[in-house]
Amino acid sequence: MKTSHTHELLATKRGYRVLICDCCDIVHVEVGPVTLRLRPGALAHLAEVLDHASRQLQTRESNLGTAELDGEPTGLVN
């Protein structure tokens, strides 16, 4: 018999969503059409890596004089 999974929305913004499955305690990170399924601890590590990359990119853009992002409303690239 298939178990019904319910998800709690943790965060959302412009094409990005983070949910947690109440049944199996897996975090779903949705980036447009792609979904990453992670354990909660892995989400914390991913957040650290993305934060570090974002700071590095800001520093790089600052040094190049291109502090503006690409202008895509969601930041997703097709």
Q: Quick: pLDDT tens for 28-64.
A: 999 999 999 999 999 999 999 999 999 999 998 888 8
- 78/76 Cα distance (integer angstroms): 7
Task: Place 3 in a pLDDT band, splitting at 50, 70 and 90.
Answer: confident
pTM for the model stands at 0.72
Q: Which domain holds residue 22?
A: 7-64
Q: Mean pLDDT score of the chain, rounded to an integer?
A: 87
Residue 13 confidence class, pLDDT cut points 50, 70, 90: very high
Residue-wise over 31-61: b if at least 16 C-beta within 10 A, else e?
A: eeeeeeebeeeebeeeeeeeeeeeeeeeeee
74 in a structural domain: no
The answer as to whether 78 is a domain residue is no
Is 75 inside a domain boundary?
no
In this prediction, residues 3-9 reach a mean pLDDT of 89
Kindly state whether residue 70 falls inside one of the protein's structural domains: no
Q: What is the Cα–Cα distance from 4 to 21, expressed in whole angstroms?
A: 10
